[in-house]
Structure 1
């Protein structure tokens, strides 16, 4: 399905006030807000499809996964996933990982896990500390609020039973486009897990988890409609209500291939893909029907354990594709002034074999393509590391070594200790009990209640390292004592290394701060506890594989490249072992299956398990960081790309350090903040 509303013929090079590349949370926010002014004309180009209101997208229980995908599907997200994979992770087990990314009108908000939080106030104050004036918690709060339509629809009884903190109306919005509320159904294992965390010294937050001060157990709201209990995604929140505007256009199925820069020409594409390619990969991911055939129950659809016969379902395998080209050796160069290039518009096509079309933007081009596609577009257009671009035979328009670097992600490992007490209901996989599926579906649609109003993660925690381990000082010291640039990729520019060193000092200090979250614990109430690193020390890279924009990208998170990250997982899994033995967990009767007690107590076995079990939490950021130039920055505090007159970036790639949160609320907030800085025409 193509959505194209009252739009002039695209190939006529229609003059637009602004062109937005990407129709996800950030792109649709900017387009919606700018087009409130009738004098501004905006076009959004989105590569993916429009969803068809599929049940598995709309209903929270399915978490954006088709429970019975076609046999040839690469993942449960079907065509709403780019189906990318990482490079072989040499610091782990030398295998690749499936790398889910949202693709469609609404982007990742079509398939994400619903959880809604912002992180700690310090996460944003540190952005300002790194040289970005005006990007602190106090300045961001109004934009977080502007995006929300928050509804407190949880009963006093449920709030008391499940430690749902009182809502602080002073930090929430009531009239924004995105519905935020609570599910109707709660699993009774949550209070036991929270009590067990308390028993080991992790507090339960007594205040609203979105007030910027959380560092413990937190029951989070979700982006769901308070009445229908269906997903509130970016398309329905921001595009559907505005699609009738005469000055707002959206065309999907349009893959942007290049940013057009005045007086800069690039060589032709390389013939690396089939002419039918739409830019998607072929990396296999999770297929839920296969999973249900392996284990009939006690397996949820969000936190899955990568162990034994389930391992291949995660795409932890080698994938045939052309290897990335080696990074060129870097030579010292004199610091020189940046150019001031003008962006004239963008080039796009429906697939690799289609004729390229062009759109002219009268004022600005706004990249909202995400932390993977945004740096790829910059590199293809000649904005990036000059040495790398030269090695790809791309003419350098703006030499910005930070493009594609400073990549960060929350990455995680799942544990499994199934409950022996059957009196506690669990979140079972669709298909494991057809009778229950029928009853749950009927309840959801007839009264908007029941298990289908909630996904598997039901009660989470964002604990500090200090609350979980006595080794916090040792780990902080280990991180602080690392040499300049140690454990980073080879041949990085000095500015990129300098930017990381500033970040590393902040990260090391936070390891000793009881009020700063180091982990997220996701609890599915079926025995899986998933532990994610919120503030990783490792840094990865995103690069083009060839000059063909439809080729798959080089995604190298470099998981485990910094040994501090691996040791942080050791601390988490040993804490998890102690957690299962608490008095509070006894009633659930957990049985440690992964890792076992023997594995936890053996250093070598535990490290092997960690390296085999790590996978993404789907939160890439940092690849076009908002930092000063001398710290490897790509955009300034107005989110304008250095060396350009009229190119901005508004997605997660601009985040210089990753917040300790699920990122959708954070990205909406970034887009709300930048849109008030009105589009300015380029100077004559």
Structure 2
């Protein structure tokens, strides 16, 4: 949900909002999903998916491909039937009805203000309300995940799923030629989500592209094939008519007639119930809006429960179910099923602040022309209403500069040395366990390699022709928490981003401001006559710039993640690389909360890949052949090669039954199956994880 140049956002909303509700009356009847009521529920389902957001609908689609398996999706929100949610204007207009109404605790690192969080409460989740900037991180972003003990989760392992989820639509050839828009066709497949570029760009962006090159930022041909660093073009997840292409209309509506797929909206999953052997057996649900302590309904899961309630509510459901930090559960009077201190820790997002320059000699037309030039405004409306083209087809822009730290800061090695010398616990929440601190230290090691890399961006600067934009920190060092309220476990979780608690994060913002100023001083920019409006040329010292940045800083750009991290258990991990929750069976997580390290990208495309891969892992556990092998190598990866050592495969199948070919089979803390099917052997990838290979 990226931030947008304010002029473009306001103009789009003013011009479009009067027309969108009447534009597609034929959609009103078709947009309603196949839903059931509480009385139509089966007593049990093979799979219960907690959360009908972006990842939940992807997984539901894939699991229900097997007509012998019954799938239930339970979603707290409702279907948004408003046709305006399909329009470009929805990229900057977030209906309150589709979001949770939650604010953080005071953020002491940015002046003690409380910050509104962005968490979707609607069928389709964040894909329903985001900014539709559809990019992937650099290869190193995902290779870092694998380096943290997650084999198969590097870029090579995820690229098949990036492809599987998308189809690229060729944009207007005239716009492509005029602006030099590039993309890599091989980075896309034949998947549900439609991806393309709009039929308009603002002329000033040509000058901006040239200016990046003049300050040492190369232009990359493509950001989707692992090259998402420096400056590159980014498409939107829209169809050829510039309508939002998202989880509901592409993954759910198209299969909603399947008799084995049920969607129940307006119900909260209170908790998960376990057998004496700690197998997840059922969920207890309660109708939204009914008093806590009221009647609940219990539904059994025959095979697996999959948590897809997002970064905010997946850890809350786990904690209310007795899986989480023992001290927190005890204070909340919740019986402990598994003392798993990492649940709700590792919260990350992309904090951002604003910078603004005014072009005194801007090219025509420009973003301001939409409301200052009546002739241009009338033409733009005509182009949109008649052809669905022109300026009103634009969303939040299509170009990013994701800058490596060495490009931006000559003293980057000194900064890295100071990070490495920090006492990690000093800047982490006091609730972090020793395991979570160890996990953070492991993250810091790979993060500092990325800080020194020329193939991984640390900051993001969106540009689309205007003089103002957001400055976004893509790899912050500060970490937060999502914890239930021990005095009222049914209340909204307590969210603390701890934004800019680590002082190095503020130094990164200072470097961003200075480099942006340098960009504005590039030779090509001088034809535009740029004049700094904020922070203002009079602010020159680092402390002045820190004060400016923190005063206007937001904690979130709607990319929150990491609260049920995929990491080794003794490093604060919550799920294994098979996405199974440690210490129990029959329970997995398939949403954005599993991300161990936030990638330098908007997270929508990554969540689709996670969910597609999760579905294949779940199918493999059930003995079904996945449709896209998660181990297919499609490129040469730069991640460290691991030597696998065969271990003796016991004859017992363990407490979880017969092991599948791709499943975990051993490691510290592992209590599940230890045998592999014929044709594969149990191989140790690290002390905490062995896999049938």
Whether TM-score is above 0.5 comes out as: yes
Please give the alpha-carbon distance, in whole angstroms, between the structure 2 residues aligned to 1:417 and 1:6.
49
Tell me the CA shift for residue 421 of structure 1.
2.3
Tell me the CA shift for residue 64 of structure 1.
4.5
1:598 aligns to what? 538
Please give the alpha-carbon distance, in whole angstroms, between the structure 1 residues aligned to 2:300 and 2:39.
10
Please give the alpha-carbon distance, in whole angstroms, between the structure 1 residues aligned to 2:270 and 2:525.
53
1:280 aligns to what? none
Per-residue Cα deviation, 1:346-368 (whole angstroms, up to 9, x for no partner): 42322242532222211111111
Per-residue Cα deviation, 1:429-488 (whole angstroms, up to 9, x for no partner): 988888866654443232120112112334221111111121211111111111242311
Change (3 A) 1:547 1:23: farther
Q: Matches of residues 405-554 of structure 1 in structure 2 within 5 Å?
A: 405-428=345-368, 440-546=380-486, 548=488, 550-554=490-494
Which structure carries more relative contact order (alpha carbon 8 Å, separation 6+)? 1
Q: Which of 545, 552, 557 is matched with 1:613 structurally?
A: 552
Q: Matches of residues 68-87 of structure 1 in structure 2 within 5 Å?
A: 76-87=94-105
1:100 matched to 2:133? The reply is: no
Tell me the CA shift for residue 8 of structure 1.
7.3
Q: Matches of residues 666-677 of structure 1 in structure 2 within 5 Å?
A: 666-677=606-617
Tell me the CA shift for residue 215 of structure 1.
1.4
Please give the alpha-carbon distance, in whole angstroms, between the structure 2 residues aligned to 1:455 and 1:519.
21
Please give the alpha-carbon distance, in whole angstroms, between the structure 2 residues aligned to 1:217 and 1:18.
43
Please give the alpha-carbon distance, in whole angstroms, between the structure 2 residues aligned to 1:246 and 1:344.
21
Q: Which of 59, 68, 80 is matched with 2:87 structurally?
A: 59
User: How many correspondences in the alignment?
Assistant: 592
1:344 matched to 2:358? The reply is: no
1:358 aligns to what? 298
Q: Matches of residues 228-247 of structure 1 in structure 2 within 5 Å?
A: 228-247=241-260
Please give the alpha-carbon distance, in whole angstroms, between the structure 2 residues aligned to 1:79 and 1:429.
32
Q: Which of 167, 173, 179 is matched with 1:162 structurally?
A: 179
Which piece of structure 1 moves more, 349-358 or 489-498?
349-358
Tell me the CA shift for residue 676 of structure 1.
1.4
Which piece of structure 1 moves more, 580-589 or 117-126?
580-589
Please give the alpha-carbon distance, in whole angstroms, between the structure 2 residues aligned to 1:162 and 1:438.
24
Structure 1: unaligned runs, 5 residues or longer: 66-75, 264-338
Please give the alpha-carbon distance, in whole angstroms, between the structure 2 residues aligned to 1:543 and 1:430.
45
Change (3 A) 1:668 1:634: same
Please give the alpha-carbon distance, in whole angstroms, between the structure 1 residues aligned to 2:457 and 2:612.
25
Tell me the CA shift for residue 201 of structure 1.
0.9
TM-score, structure 1 normalization: 0.82
Please give the alpha-carbon distance, in whole angstroms, between the structure 1 residues aligned to 2:279 and 2:249.
36
1:34 matched to 2:63? The reply is: yes
Please give the alpha-carbon distance, in whole angstroms, between the structure 1 residues aligned to 2:249 and 2:172.
23
Tell me the CA shift for residue 130 of structure 1.
0.8
- Whether the 8 Å contact between 2:353 and 2:550 is mirrored in structure 1 is no
1:181 matched to 2:202? The reply is: no
What SS class does the counterpart of residue 84 from structure 1 fall into?
Answer: coil
What SS class does the counterpart of residue 585 from structure 1 fall into?
Answer: helix
Please give the alpha-carbon distance, in whole angstroms, between the structure 2 residues aligned to 1:92 and 1:555.
15
Change (3 A) 1:422 1:213: closer
Please give the alpha-carbon distance, in whole angstroms, between the structure 2 residues aligned to 1:48 and 1:427.
35
Q: Matches of residues 171-250 of structure 1 in structure 2 within 5 Å?
A: 171-173=187-189, 175-205=190-220, 207-226=221-240, 228-250=241-263
Please give the alpha-carbon distance, in whole angstroms, between the structure 1 residues aligned to 2:40 and 2:295.
10
Which piece of structure 1 moves more, 473-482 or 427-436?
427-436
